[in-house]
Amino acid sequence: MESNRCTGQPHRAALILARGGSKGIPLKNIKSLAGVPLIAWVLRAALDSEVVDSVWVSTDHDEIERVARVWGAKVHRRSPEVSKDSSSSLETIQEFIRLRPEVDIVCHIQATSPCLHPHHIREALQMITEQGCDYVFSVVRRHQFHWEEVDKKEGKNPTPLNIDVAHRPRRQDWRGELYENGSFYFSTRKALENGLKQLGKIAYYEMLPEYSVDIDVDIDWPVAEQRVLRFGYFGREENAAVRLFLCKVSGCLTNGQIITSVSGEDHVAINARDVAGIHMLQRENIEVQSCGLVQIICYNFLVISYVHLGFIFLHLIFVTYYYDGVVHDTVHLLYIRLCL
């Protein structure tokens, strides 16, 4: 969008900094996390927040630029002066606003915080647009005790900084302390132009621990992947219609086990939850077909669209399909399993 100055509304720009020279994890900003480029998780949240007028990625790398554009962002090609290992985020943002005079509020979002949701952005931005804050940053509540760091060679005892050792509180009796979680930093243009040295009203936005994920080194990656699969933002739910539900009986409607009786007969157990789920689909007038691994399916093409109707488990099925008696391809189908 263009500037909102004609309407009297400030232009709010979401900005994600994504330099190509990451040292800890090379090109981590576009590394796949749960099947999606890392930077795409926050781009999706920013675009769907519906409270920012533009979404930007500041980068010096061609591939990051390509990924950013694919996921709907505009690209600010940063200069070499702010692309160094020693360059600060503030310097890069200041360059951005110098070249974008229409921007009044910068929502600096970190690409390494993939559990950000649109509502986090909306609520934090309101603290600037409606409550008059100049600077808003995200925090998380931690229950951690701090001790003074000492030089062991000096033989000095460390001093507790936030705990009485003789009266160590239980977790439920202590509210904990607030720490920056690095998810975002929102500020007005004036505050940024002053180098964040003369801030007026400052506020923090507290995020729940499950959304406070930060990726710095390789060991953080598998933990973040599991967290984002459970707490990440997967986009708006589309109001698409299920036209066809195709499933393979063996290993899907069953539990994948074969039971051999004492007489040598093989038996399989049908999963009652799956059967109940299929009955629910049929009551919604959705065509349900079961097939063997190489059953003939007489369609010129096969498209399955689905919506979130309580389905939470997805299984990948391989089905070879025929058309006019000729094997065309092996397609990957989503088997949608109801959790009742």
The tens place of each residue's pLDDT in the chain, 340 residues long, gives 444 655 678 999 999 999 987 777 788 999 999 989 999 999 999 999 999 999 999 999 999 999 999 999 999 999 999 998 889 999 999 999 999 999 999 999 999 999 999 999 999 999 999 999 999 999 999 999 999 999 888 889 999 999 999 999 988 989 999 999 999 999 999 999 999 998 999 999 999 999 999 888 888 899 999 999 999 999 887 655 566 666 655 555 666 677 787 888 877 776 666 667 677 777 777 777 655 433 333 332 333 333 333 333 333 333 333 333 333 333 334 433 333 2
Ordered by start, the domain boundaries in the chain are 12-231, 244-330
| Residues marked as catalytic | 168
Report the C-alpha gap between 168 and 340 in whole angstroms: 44
- pTM of this prediction? 0.70
Neighbouring CB atoms inside 10 A of 112's CB total 25
The CATH architecture one would assign to domain 12-231 is Alpha-Beta Complex (3.90)
